[in-house]
Structure formats: structure tokens, C-alpha cells
Structure 1
Amino acid sequence: MIVILDFGSQYSELIARRIRETQVYSEVLSYRTMAEQLRQLNPVGIILSGGPSSVYDAGAPHCDPEIWNLGVPVLGVCYGMQLMVQQLGGSVERAELGEYGKANLAIDDPTDLLTNVGEGSIMWMSHGDSVARLPDGFEVLAHTSNTPCAAIAHHDRKLYGVQFHPEVVHSQGGQALIRNFVYHICECQPTWTTDAFVEESVREIRGRVGTKRVLLALSGGVDSSTLAFLLHRAIGDQLTCMFIDQGFMRKLEPERLVKLFHEQFHINVEYVNARDRFLAAVAGVDDPEEKRKRIGHEFIRVFEAESKRLGPFDYLAQGTLYPDVIESADTNVDPQTGERVAVKIKSHHNVGGLPKDLRFKLVEPLRKLFKDEVRKVGRSIGLPEEIVNRQPFPGPGLAIRILGAVDEEKLDILRDADFIVRQEINRAGMYNDFWQAFAVLLPVRSVGVMGDQRTYAYPIVLRLVSSEDGMTADWSRAPYDLLETISNRIVNEVKGVNRVVYDITSKPPGTIEWE
């Protein structure tokens, strides 16, 4: 595998994803991982991520300097390159002109790391510091108008650095650079495939679970459905899927889901109606973090209660993904200074709301996968396209698409509005054109007029975004006639709504979900 040492970048996982696109396994570890620990993992390459710090700041995160002596190829990205330069005897200074956004790359050495990276390629920059003096043995591979050392190398030691971010989609030739590092410099083989993952996962599940029974929280989304198929392949009837209707699902989805798994897939699903219980748990709660934690807490408590009725279960399976873990984790807190290098965005119900007295052991085979990788696994094990291509839906459901306190009236309004959104994008043949397309209900009212009568009702926000992995996203330039149809239907058919607005914020600075 190739290891990525994370120095606090919100997008370190993008580097891991780009590596995996080359069919080579990658894993993200803390920058505190010592050289001896890395030696035991036996990686074929190491990548140092970017980060928000400056290398000369007091308390700036540093890696174990013995990493440079492991004899393993290393690629430093942005902060990672600056740290490499500083630790190996060079110098980094505050640049007279920082670079943020697009910059044209002028290539001085078109071989090795920059093979097949075109002259003048646009690369994505985000730095205020620059390399002022290279360590001994290093040479410049590329520069930009503001950055004399945009790419550097010590060929004999196989140490490389780039000031730009090849992992982001804005960088032309970024994936070519990554492939050069993976295949030519680290000499990897493309052996980490979907079939290999399934085979390894089945083996690990059987080895861990043995003859014990497993309870799966089934939501009907691509993650939990893929996990259900994977677990069923591994342990068969030892698996029981429990679908808990918490009252925050989309219109008609609970009934469709149970019928599909029972009649078509022949996987045991237990339906639990807990709508009143969940609604009571979040009653009057305005804070989105508190809503998520209460919903996560209720999920586990319901599992515990229902598992006693159904029989003893030793394991709880969850469809936790890599982005869930990263966005939920309070990671990289320096034990001496207390400084947090990476910032918590939000907790996810399946990683941020688990109670400390959880009596189940967790099984999370998808924990290291991105969403697109889960879809590939789902297809390989026979999951129908209608589920494989299902847009992401948050675990807390509509409860976090209603801003502020949740009640039955608002849920009914949002269900009807959301149903219209899905109907119209399907009729337009555009369902797969969006990463997510949904409605949000705001807890404010505005004046309107219908049939010469004054109205005072809620607004619905349309959120249509495009993305590759959910880590970054752009608002979709949806056709005006589609937006018009959706707006007209919602205002005319959904009681309690008199206004529809369109969210044109990308991620970052916003998130895809509003809460």
C-alpha cells in the first residue's frame, strides 16, 4: 500500500482516492505515525499531505525525521513539500505573493514525476509560503510565475515535492503525476480491485464473526444495501437486517424497501415502527449536532431492545464510509499544545452518536471505502442498479433537512416537496446527472399571495449538486424549465409552502447538507 500522512488537510482523503483510482491500496494515517511503525506496515510509498500550518510556526506539525531514511519513495504535497525541505536542510519563507487558485505550470524536467504532464498545465495552488532554498541534492522540476520551486526532486533518494495539489480535479495532469509516482517511482502493480476487496472482506467477516449472529441497520441506501449483500454472501442466514422506521424517511420508501428485500433478495428484514419514539427524542431540539447524536443514540437503543426480542446478537454491522469517519473525527489534536490541526465539520449518526455503553461489537467492512468504490462493490455482488445509483441520503434522514426543531407537520411538508423533486428529475431523465437533488425546509415564513388571498408560509430550498465523491461539490446548473416545473408543483401542491429558492453554494465553503 501507499500511506498518506495527514497534516490536517480537509482533503487528504482525496489523495487516497486518487491513489485507489490507480488500483493501488492507500490508507491515511496521522502525521505522528513513527518511522518504525511505518516500517512494520511496509508501505511501498509515502505521501505527505497539505495542511493549514506554516512550517516555521511554533507548534507546527512535524513528522518523524527518520521517515527520510526508510528508503521508501516520498511525495510531499504543499505543506508536505515545505516540511520535507525544512527537515532536510533547506529553507521556507513567507512568499511575497501567495498563490491561491489556478496557476500555469512551466516544466523544467519533463521526465520522471512529470512524465505526460503537459507544458503550461493548470495546477491548483493554495499557499502563502514558498521554498526559498533547496536542500542538497534536490533540483527543480517545474515552476510558476510566482513560485520558483513548484515541483522538486532528489532522484537518487526518490524524494519528491509539489507546491500544488495534484489530487484536486482542477489540476490538469494531476492524475498523470500521481500515476507516475505510483507506477514508475513506487513500482506498484494495479492489484487492488473490486473483486479483490470483496474476496478479502468475505474472508475477514467469516474469520471475525465465526458462527455468531449479526444485526444490520438497513436504511435502503447504497451503503447499507451493499453491506447487506456482502454480509449475506459471507455469513448467510446469520445476518438479520433490521429496518427501523424512525419517521424521517422519504415518502413511500419504508414500504418499498421491506418488500424489495423480502420478496426479491430473500434477505431477512425485520420492520420496526419507532416513529413516535424518534420524534419525541428530537422534539424541540434546534442544534443539528444534538439532533444527530440523539438520533444515533435512539438507533442503538432500539437495536438493543429489538435484538432481545429477536434473539441474541453479538455484532452490529454499519455502512460507515471513509468520508463519515474523516468528517466526524476530532483528529490530529497535539497532545502537548492541544492545537487541533484538522477541524470537525459534523458528526455522522453512525460514528458520532454511539453511546459509551454500546454492548454490540461493530462490523464495518466498508469503513475504508469512498462512495464510488461502494457502488462498484455493489455492482460486483449483484445489487440492482436502482439501489447502486441511489443518491446519498443522510442517516438522520429528513430530520436534518428541516432546519431547527422537527415536528410532524414539517415532516409531512418536506416529504411531499421532496417527492416532487425526485419525480421531476426522473421524468427529465436527469436523476444520474446529480450527486444529490433534494429539498430543505427552512423554519421561517414569508408573505405570498394565492388566488387573491394573502399567505404566510414556509420556503423550500432546492439543493442540486454535482460531485465525484462528496468531499467537494458544485451547485448544478440545472435547466430553468426543470426548476420552474419543480417550483410550480411544490407551491401549488404542497400545503404550507409559498416560496421556492435555489441554493447556488458549492462545497466548500458550504456543505452539501444544510445541517
Structure 2
Amino acid sequence: MFNPEEFITEAIAKIKDEIGDEKAVIALSGGVDSSVCSVLIQEAIGDNLIAIFVNHGLLREGEVEEVTNTFKDKINFKYVDASEEFLTALDGVEDPEEKREIIGKVFIDVFQREADKTDAKFLVQGTIAPDWIETEGKIKSHHNVKLPSGMVLKVVEPVRDLYKDEVRQIGLELGLDKKIVYRQPFPGPGLAVRVIGTLSDEKLAVCRKANKIVSEEIEKEGLNKELWQYFAVLTDTKVTGVKGDQRDFGYLVVLRLVSSVDAMTAYIPELPWNIIRTMSKRITSEIPEVTHVALSISDKPPSTIEFA
């Protein structure tokens, strides 16, 4: 049986031995994996850790403020807005694997620049087992696993061999706020893999609004405690609709609501139909660019949780 207290003791000792008196930067996203790693590393090396939260322009609505307010007074925190750099690099790119590779490269460029400012030698990542299993199995590459060649920073991954449920146990043992521990997983590439096809300011805005509506309705009903992830995908398909007695031709949004324990498998639970209808009505009425909402009912496997 997994023992979080024993893991914490061993992990801190290993980190001290690996990093020593050097400085390290950590890719802090605000999710449980990187949050747990931030606390573990800080326990081991103190303020020699710089926790860097990078805005890549692909975050959910309100996420910059939420993560900044959560961590700015708790650890050695730094916010970096690199959104223009990421979005420029992604301009015109359709393929999701290419998006992931580009995002991974730009992330490393950003962290290397920030590390150079403080003479940091190590990059800490919240990589967990499903990340490298899916990457090595060629299911989909994770930007924190498929790192670019020629990288100077040495990578440290304290929870690499753990699954999400085990990381959450560690978070609780470390005294992290339950809101962080049970925060809905969000992919590192962000909305780049929830907007199918090329990215644009309009598409990202639509996707953000749709995701906010899904979160509001799920959390209002308390279903967030039962679901692993709940989000909206903006497809690259357009559908004819009717708005104000006039023909409209707008985007198709797909709702994805799944339950899981460790992200290696996932299933679609039965949910109250009125919740699905409410989300659909709100999305099509509050987001003028959307004419149609569909529901994804495929388990993992054969599907993956994210669409891209």
C-alpha cells in the first residue's frame, strides 16, 4: 500500500542529495502535481527554489489571478507573461502533436531564460506516470516528457512514478489546501488541445467562455466532487443554426465529462439530463459564435480524455 509520509521523507532526502546548494526553477501551473512538487522542493532547498508560473496565452478564464493569489505569498513565486511568444509560435498550426512539440520547446526557452537570471541549474517538473506512459506508448506526447534536445537545465521529477491519486495523498499529507489537491486536471498545452485546428483570438475566447459555463454549472450542482474532468472542446466544424429567426452558421462545441481515479482509464458517468441541457442552452445563448452543442460519451480506452 502506498505510504505518503514515507514517500515525502525519502523524496526530500533524494532532492537534497540531487540539487544540493544549487538553485532550481519549477514549472508551476497551479495543478496538484506541480504544487506538490513545489512544496517538496521548497522543503528540501528553501528559497533556492524559484516557482515560475508562465502564462502561455492558453489558460482558462481567471486562471492567472487564481494561481497568482494562491501562491504569491506562500513560496518564492514569479509570474511570467509569455503569451505573445507562444501564440506567435503556434500561428497556423493545426496538428495537435505539432502544437505540443512547439509548446514544449517554447516552455523550455522561457524557463532557460529565467534560470539564467538566477544562475539556476535545475528544472523541476510535475511529471507523473501517465504522462510518460502515454508519450512512450505514442498515444499522445506530453510536452513535459518530450523535451527538446540540447537543453542545458538538468531535469528533476520528484513524482514521476506516481499516479494522480497518489500525488493527491501526498498533497494532503503536506497540508496543501483541498482546493488545490482536488483541482480539476488541466493539460499543460492548455486550450491549444481543446481548440481543434488552428488557433485564433476568437476561437480561444469562445473556448474560454464555454469552459467557464461548464465549470459553473458542474460546480453549482456539486458534481465536481464526482467528476475527474469536465470541460468544453471547440471543434473545427461549423453547423447551421437558427438565431432570431435568421439562419446562422457557427461553431460546434462538445462537452466532455469524465470520471477516473488515475487518468489511465476513464468512464462517462450518468449525469442529470437537466444539467446537460442547461449547459447547452447557456453556451448557445451566451456565446453568439456557437450554434450547436454535442456530448461526448466515449470512455478511455478507446478514447483519451482530451480530444487532441
* 2:79 counterpart residue number: 271
* 2:171 counterpart residue number: 378
* Highest RCO, 1 vs 2 (Cα 8 Å, sep ≥ 6): 2
Letter in 2 for 1:346: K
Distance across 1 between alignment mates of 2:270 and 2:92:
36
Question: Of 350, 353, 370, which aligns to 2:144?
Answer: 350
Deviation string 1:145-198 (CA, Å, 9 cap, x unpaired) is: xxxxxxxxxxxxxxxxxxxxxxxxxxxxxxxxxxxxxxxxxxxxxxx5110000
2:246 corresponds to 1:449? no
User: What is the CA distance between 1:495 and its match in structure 2?
Assistant: 2.6
> Residue 207 of structure 2 aligns to a residue in which SS?
helix
User: What is the CA distance between 1:200 and its match in structure 2?
Assistant: 0.1
Structure 1 range deviating more: 487-496 or 376-385 = 487-496
Distance across 1 between alignment mates of 2:150 and 2:225:
41
2:106 corresponds to 1:298? yes
User: What is the CA distance between 1:406 and its match in structure 2?
Assistant: 1.1
* 1:219 counterpart residue number: 29
> Residue 240 of structure 1 aligns to a residue in which SS?
strand
* 1:426 counterpart residue number: 219
* 1:359 counterpart residue number: 152
Deviation string 1:391-435 (CA, Å, 9 cap, x unpaired) is: 111100110011111111100000010001001111001101111
2:82 corresponds to 1:281? no
Q: Could you list the structure 1 runs, at least 4 aligned residues long, displaced by more than 3 angstroms after superposition.
A: none
* 1:416 counterpart residue number: 209
* 1:395 counterpart residue number: 188
Distance across 2 between alignment mates of 1:212 and 1:274:
26
Distance across 1 between alignment mates of 2:57 and 2:47:
28
User: What is the CA distance between 1:493 and its match in structure 2?
Assistant: 0.8
Distance across 2 between alignment mates of 1:284 and 1:413:
18
8 Å contact from structure 2 (residues 194, 232) kept in 1: yes
> Residue 126 of structure 2 aligns to a residue in which SS?
coil
TM-score, length-normalised on structure 1?
0.59
Distance across 2 between alignment mates of 1:216 and 1:286:
29
Deviation string 1:25-45 (CA, Å, 9 cap, x unpaired) is: xxxxxxxxxxxxxxxxxxxxx
> Residue 415 of structure 1 aligns to a residue in which SS?
helix
8 Å contact from structure 2 (residues 24, 115) kept in 1: no
User: What is the CA distance between 1:498 and its match in structure 2?
Assistant: 1.2
Correspondence list, 1:455-474, <5 A? 455-474=248-267
> Residue 255 of structure 1 aligns to a residue in which SS?
helix
Question: Of 122, 125, 128, which aligns to 1:318?
Answer: 125
TM-score, length-normalised on structure 2?
0.98
* 1:53 counterpart residue number: none
Correspondence list, 1:328-343, <5 A? 328-329=135-136, 343=137
User: What is the CA distance between 1:469 and its match in structure 2?
Assistant: 1.1
**Which protein has the larger Cα radius of gyration, Structure 1 or Structure 2?**
1
Letter in 2 for 1:277: E
Q: Which runs of 5+ in 1 are unaligned?
A: 1-22, 24-191, 330-342
2:1 corresponds to 1:194? no
Distance across 2 between alignment mates of 1:295 and 1:286:
13
Letter in 2 for 1:301: D
Distance across 2 between alignment mates of 1:466 and 1:304:
36
Deviation string 1:346-405 (CA, Å, 9 cap, x unpaired) is: 1001002x1111000011000010000000000100110001011111100110011111
Letter in 2 for 1:345: I
8 Å contact from structure 2 (residues 115, 121) kept in 1: no
Distance across 1 between alignment mates of 2:218 and 2:240:
28
User: What is the CA distance between 1:269 and its match in structure 2?
Assistant: 1.3
Letter in 1 for 2:303: G
Letter in 1 for 2:125: Q
2:55 corresponds to 1:262? no
Letter in 1 for 2:78: E
Deviation string 1:89-130 (CA, Å, 9 cap, x unpaired) is: xxxxxxxxxxxxxxxxxxxxxxxxxxxxxxxxxxxxxxxxxx
Give aligned pairs, total. 308
User: What is the CA distance between 1:308 and its match in structure 2?
Assistant: 2.4
Higher helix share: 2
Deviation string 1:200-242 (CA, Å, 9 cap, x unpaired) is: 0000001111110010001011111111111111111111011
> Residue 116 of structure 2 aligns to a residue in which SS?
helix
> Residue 236 of structure 2 aligns to a residue in which SS?
coil
Letter in 1 for 2:127: T
Letter in 2 for 1:302: V
* 2:54 counterpart residue number: 244
Distance across 2 between alignment mates of 1:326 and 1:465:
20
Distance across 2 between alignment mates of 1:279 and 1:378:
33
Distance across 2 between alignment mates of 1:236 and 1:255:
25
User: What is the CA distance between 1:501 and its match in structure 2?
Assistant: 0.4
> Residue 501 of structure 1 aligns to a residue in which SS?
strand
Distance across 2 between alignment mates of 1:441 and 1:496:
11
User: What is the CA distance between 1:307 and its match in structure 2?
Assistant: 2.3
Distance across 2 between alignment mates of 1:416 and 1:328:
30
